Chains A and B, each alone.
Chain A
């Protein structure tokens, strides 16, 4: 027979587990409620003009960032774990940890005060703003991809490496022909996680596109940046389209994570 304290502790644990488990659903429900209420108040008329360009900009920028960030993160993970001596590995891990700790607004500062003035001449034409946005997101998403691939690398059985070494393979050959094929799925997951991270990034993108607008460069911001700017700067946020956009961002991030059926988004240092 469990004691009273045990039952009380278990009840508290269950209550808190329920709260944590329901948190994403509660956020989803609030956004659905907001979108439905405001759409109803507007007699069902939701203004979606201009959103097509925003969606296209978001998809293009996030896809490029996911591919580059996934590749950069996976490459850094392989370089650190497989091909480097201990001091080099620690340096790469430190760099990745540093990027993982930097807040979005600091990336926004870097983009607005360093990159945007440097590209003010608009060397790539209309592509420049999106290239800058993708570059910033690439650096932001690489730590997520790197952490995932590193965790995968640590799970590759030692016996596999020993077998490759016994067969005469060098470290590079072991990495290229044994470890990389074994982690192919993991690398794809890292790219998807980078996509989920970049599609919801609001602060850095909003600061970047605001800086571009100040410089007179016309560009369509990403969806997260648009929602952020309108909620923060606009009149009392009564436009349902912003809540619908936030809802879609949340759903896309959730689907990306659930689709691969693996745990992502965990702490980088754990």
Chain B
């Protein structure tokens, strides 16, 4: 009896200690994440601002307009390629009567698709376009191939995001529409989609931001093609890897360009978040 009481006391103190340690670890994790984000933002903002001030009296060090236009060209190819297939595939994944047996395959494939490493897509795109160097690649061709490869990388991601969005609309809307005699495609297009539209637009913005910041595919394809158009990510990568480091003149434009890239992508994400905030009220 005495032994079991002592064991119970030990268990209680052990559990209390475990609870304390776990709580401290959890609090530390939360604090560390916030501190790291704050440090990243502070360093980026200070360095980027100094870079901007330094370049206000001298040439900026990189052609911002050309880089943005090149990134815009690639987004202009990739985004339209990915919108319609993702939307229709999400419809097939949402309703078995639209997707048939493919619905199950699609859902299984969407587990793996978004985790595909970008470098694997880049290597596949490079091989497909030049066959290991046997086929020449022209500069304009490089832009198109980079755009298509970006679309391929983001196709499963956007499909999954749209599917998650339409699944958030309560199922009673679909059931009510079907009970009222609507065909499955009518129920999807006229009842479900309008309620999921803010989420779908948010997903599209977030995916566009991801495409804007993608580097591996752009570098692998465009560096090989030798195109005169240099997107922001390719320019940044070249500066980071191919210029001698340490020089103050090299650091300032780097920080400015990184600040610009991060700001644009965070702006895309922020807009997506705003739309996400609206979706719950409209979906209900």
Contacts and interface: CB of A to CB of B under 8 A. Distances in A.
Contact of A113 (B114, B126, B202, B251): B251
A17 B115 contact: no
**Which of A25, A113, A146, A253 has the most C-beta atoms of chain B within 10 angstroms of its own C-beta?**
A113
Interface in B78-101: 84-89, 91-93, 97-100
B122 interface: yes
A253 B156 CA distance: 15
Interface string B1-28: 0000000000000010011001101111
Given A236-B132, A257-B112, A88 B30 contact: yes
Interface in A77-130: 78-80, 82-84, 88, 91-92, 94-99, 101-106, 108-110, 112-114, 117
B105 A254 contact: no
B117 A105 contact: no
**Which of B88, B108, B223, B261 has the most C-beta atoms of chain A within 10 angstroms of its own C-beta?**
B88
Band of interface residues on A: 35 or more
**Which of B98, B156, B265 has the most C-beta atoms of chain A within 10 angstroms of its own C-beta?**
B98
> Which secondary structure dominates where chain B touches chain A?
helix
A264 interface: yes
A206 B241 contact: yes
A101 B209 contact: yes
Interface in A204-219: 206-207, 210-211, 214-215
B26 A78 contact: yes
Interface string A229-259: 0011101111000110011011001101110
Contacts of B127: 30-31, 33-34, 237, 243
Contacts of B202: 269
Given A103-B265, A228-B216, A246 B120 contact: yes
Given A24-B116, A269-B276, A173 B245 contact: no
Contact of B115 (A2, A26, A197, A224): A197
Nearest to B25: A75
A13 B155 contact: no
B216 A196 contact: no
Interface in B153-188: 155-157, 159-161, 164-165, 168, 183-186
B111 A106 contact: no
Given A24-B112, A101-B266, A113 B255 contact: yes
Contacts, number: 352
B86 to A, nearest CB: 7
B88 A228 contact: no
A16 interface: yes
Interface residues of B, number: 115
Nearest to A78: B26
**Which of B122, B127, B206 has the most C-beta atoms of chain A within 10 angstroms of its own C-beta?**
B127
Interface string A18-36: 1111111111001101100
A88 B273 CA distance: 18
Contacts of B29: 71-76, 78-79
A57 interface: no
B219 interface: yes
A210 B116 contact: no
A252 to B, nearest CB: 9
Contact of A20 (B31, B159, B241): B159
B213 interface: yes
Contact of A103 (B27, B184, B213): B213
A257 B161 CA distance: 17
Interface in B206-220: 206, 209-210, 212-216, 219-220
A9 interface: yes
A180 interface: yes
A258 B109 CA distance: 10
A22 B103 CA distance: 13
B194 interface: no
7 contacts: A10-B185, A73-B29, A103-B213, A172-B23, A211-B245, A263-B111, A269-B276
Top 4 closest pairs, chain A to chain B, by CB = A236-B133, A75-B29, A200-B117, A103-B213
Interface of B: 15, 18-19, 22-23, 25-34, 36-38, 40-41, 43-44, 47, 84-89, 91-93, 97-100, 102-103, 105-106, 108-124, 126-128, 130-133, 152, 155-157, 159-161, 164-165, 168, 183-186, 189, 199, 202-203, 206, 209-210, 212-216, 219-220, 223-224, 233, 236-237, 240-241, 244-246, 251, 254-255, 258, 261-262, 265-266, 268-269, 272-273, 276
